[in-house]
Structure 1
Amino acid sequence: MSESPQTDTYLTLKAKSEGLYKEKGSKFLAFAFPVKDETEIKEILDQLRKKYYDARHHCYAYILGKNQNIYRANDDGEPNHSAGDPILGQIRSHHLTNVLIVVIRYFGGIKLGVGGLIHAYKTAAADAIANNEIITAVLHERVKLDFDYLSMNEVMKLIKDYDLQITDQHFDNQCQLVVEIRQKLLEEISHKISDLNGVKMHILGYE
C-alpha cells in the first residue's frame, strides 16, 4: 500500500490463483478470483460446478464493495460454519474486497470433524491468497459525456489533461464518450465540465 492511502482505494487480488490442502485422503482445491459483482460470481461458480462436477462440496465466500458491505459464506452441505466462514475469514483477515474464493472438496473416506474442516478450508483459502498478489485498486466512476461536435477539442483537452480512460465512444454531429474518472477527482472534473458549453455529464456507476 502507499504511504498515504486515498479514500477511493481498496485492496483486492490481482488475478486468478489456486491453492491446495490435503488431509486424510480428502483434497481441498481452492480458487481465488478478483470479481466485480454477483453476476460474475454466479458465472464462475457455474463454471467450476461443471468442471468439477464429481466433487462432493463446492464451498465459497465472497466480499464486494469498497466498504466490504456485501458478503456471503456458503457451506454447501458441510456442517454449519465449518467451510464458508473460514474462507470468509481469510478474505477479511487480508482486508480484501471484490474477491471470491471457492474451495472444492473431494472426500477421502475419513471424516475430519468440524475442527478439522475449519482448519482445512481456512488453510486452502490462505494458500490461494498466498499464491496471488494483493494490489491496491482505485475506485472509478463511469461517466457519459454528451456534446456537439464543435465542443470536441475542449472535451478532448480535458480528457488529456486528466489522463482519463475512454471506454466507449460515438462521434457524429452529436457525440458521446464514456470515460472512467477516479472517484476523488469526480467533483473537480464535474466543475470543469459544467464550464464547457453544451456538454452534459451523466454518471453511470462505479467500476
Structure 2
Amino acid sequence: MCDTHPTTGYLCTRCTRTLDEQLLRMPALYRALGAFLPPAARGTQHGGRGPAAEAPLPVAEHVLDLRGPGGMVGVLERQRAELHAARGWAEPVLGVGILNRITLAAGALSHSLSWAAESWPAAGDLARAIRDLHGSAASVVHPRLAEERGTRLGMCPQLVSEDEADGVCGAVLRHFPGDRTVTCRWCGTVYEPSAWTALREWIDYEEAEAKDRLAQAG
C-alpha cells in the first residue's frame, strides 16, 4: 500500500493515520453529498397548466450511487464484516438509516486500525477501498482539492536503469482532471490513452505481488 515508508506490519504509521482520517470523514462526506443530489422537478406556480420545468442535474449520477444502499455504506459495511470475520467476531449489527450505518461502520473500522495495521494481511485492501471511496466522494464535495492532488493510479513501470537489479522507476503516477495523458513527474514518461489498459494491468499485477510478498513474510 505504501510507496515511501517501510514498515514491519501491513500499513505504515502514515498510511494508518491517513486511513483513520478518511474513515472519520465518511459521515460528513455523506451529509455533504446530499447538497449535490438532483433537485425535484417543479411545476408552474399559481395553478398554471404549463409543463413541469426540471432543473439541470448539478453533478454526475454517481452521487446517487454513493449515497445509495450499495455506495458508501455498502463498501464500509463489507470491510467491517471482513474485519470481524478475520478477528473471529460475530457479524456486526447494522444501524438504522444509512447515515447511522455509515457512522457505525466507519467508527468500528477506525477503532480496529491499530490491529489491522500490524496483524491483518488485508489491511492494504482496506486502505485502498477506503482511499478510492473517499476520493470519489471528495471529488464531488471538494472538486478543486481533487484537481490539485489528482487520482493516484499506482507506481510507474518505466525501466530507468538496465544496470540495476531493480531498475523500475516506481514513482507514484497520478491522473489530473482534463489531462489527455498520464505523465510521470519523476522520470518524465508519458502514457497515452492507448497504453492505459496495459498500465492498469501492470499496476494490478505489481500490487498483487506486493501483497503476496507481505503475506509470505508474515
Q: Do these two structures clear the TM 0.5 threshold for a shared fold by scoring above it? A: no
TM-score normalised per structure 2: 0.21
TM-score normalised per structure 1: 0.22
Taking CA–CA contacts closer than 8 Å with sequence separation of 6 or more, which of the two structures ends up with the larger relative contact order? Answer: 1
